[in-house]
Amino acid sequence: MLRKSALLLTCYRAAQWLYLLGGDINNKMITKHSFSKVWYRFLVLSFALGLFFSATVTAQPVQGKDCYSRVFEEKVVGHSLANAYLLMYAAHNTYENRIDVANFLEFKKRFREIFEPLGIDRFDFIDIRAKTADTQAVVMSNDKLVIVAFRGSESSKNKKFSPTRFAYDWLLTDLNFFKKRILWWGWGVKVHRGLYNAMEVAYDDLKKYVDSHMAGTPKRLWITGHSLGAGIAPLAASRLADDGISVQGIYTYAGPRIGNDDFVKAFKKRFPDMQRWVFDNDLVSKLPFKVMKFQHCAPPNNIYADGRLVLADGEMRGPGKARSHAPGMYLQKIYDLLPLDLKAVVPAPPGLVNDAGIADAELERQFNGAEQTAEESTGK
């Protein structure tokens, strides 16, 4: 506050000086030019006021300044509301169309602009498309922590694109759906082939960047993602652990089921404290169907429609909802759970995106009909 006051006082004095100087210059030059004394002083004062207001704007503090170094609880094990919000904030901003950019090059520039004031000083980006895989991720760090954030599905060019429908179709397509056996994670372990391939095509870059960010002073590694990114995150954590890299925490949002029962048992032994967030019967969190022998690898932290949070809850009952899947919904709902003192030191969520593709009544009817048919066929 004192610094800002001193800056404004300096601008005010500069305006006074320029005003007097303008008058002096005008008196000396009025014989050579036809400009009036008032016009000279108007130009000088306009310049001074420009400096004044520029100084006022640049002096405004950034909400959430350095929160990833001051607020983020990098050593915590399990649940942390502060970490839940800040990791969802990272996952939310991995979407190009959520930060209003047209391509990946612009995305990288804008992402840095958002997170550097928040206490992140180093960034690397992954953007790989191969076969059915389309994997984007950010690896970012400061002197205390490293965060890997996987992006979900989106289209920044098509405003009618439905990320929920894309996830629905992608998870169930024949090329992705069949389970992949991973013997080195345990006998009988099988995971969703599409999710594993999406992780595998990016793994060399991921490990290279994580190794680089973890070097030097000791840091804690956190992995997050929304939607299909939430399906990739646990698999990436498992691969990194295979290579001797310690993972402090995994927080996922709106994620699908990933593997069979043997995978879930093996995963929980390695990562018993993973935090899985679900909002109001999110449709994608109910995919692939239980009858297909896919399971979630952690109990859900459920946020119900009324805003109530239940940690380590059971799976929500009721029809799947497409609108609940939007990343902005998760960000806002977790923000609403924060105490006032925490809201004051983290960045506020942006306004919810008015995306017509999010609310998809036809998809909900298709999904809920298929789910009911699948459960009835097994007698459940």
pLDDT at 31: 47
Q: How many whole angstroms separate alpha carbon 287 and alpha carbon 294?
A: 8
Is residue 250 over pLDDT 90? yes
Average pLDDT over residues 48-54: 54
Percentage, residues of the chain above pLDDT 70 = 69
Q: How many whole angstroms separate alpha carbon 125 and alpha carbon 138?
A: 5
Whole-structure pTM value: 0.80
Q: Report yes or no: 94 and 138 within 8 Å, Cβ to Cβ.
A: yes
Is residue 377 over pLDDT 50? no
Average pLDDT over residues 76-100: 93
Alpha helices by DSSP H, listed for the chain, are 2-29, 37-58, 67-70, 81-92, 104-115, 163-172, 174-177, 193-200, 203-214, 228-242, 261-270, 327-337, 340-343, 361-377
Q: Report yes or no: 118 and 68 within 8 Å, Cβ to Cβ.
A: yes
Mean pLDDT of the chain: 81
Is residue 356 over pLDDT 90? no
Q: How many whole angstroms separate alpha carbon 348 and alpha carbon 85?
A: 10
pLDDT at 172: 58
Q: How many whole angstroms separate alpha carbon 247 and alpha carbon 77?
A: 11
Q: Residue 100 has which token pair?
A: 């209003």
Q: How many whole angstroms separate alpha carbon 326 and alpha carbon 329?
A: 5
CATH superfamily label, 67-377: Alpha/Beta hydrolase fold, catalytic domain (3.40.50.1820)
Average pLDDT over residues 24-52: 50
Q: Residue 66 has which token pair?
A: 């350095």
Percentage, residues of the chain above pLDDT 90 = 59
pLDDT at 152: 85
96 pLDDT tier (thresholds 50, 70, 90): confident
- For the chain, the structural domain boundaries read 2-58, 67-377
Of 1-10, 77-86, 95-104, the one with minimum mean pLDDT is: 1-10
Is residue 288 over pLDDT 60? yes
130 pLDDT tier (thresholds 50, 70, 90): confident
pLDDT digits (tens, 9 = 90+) for 149-201: 999 876 444 444 455 556 655 665 545 667 899 999 999 999 999 899 999 99
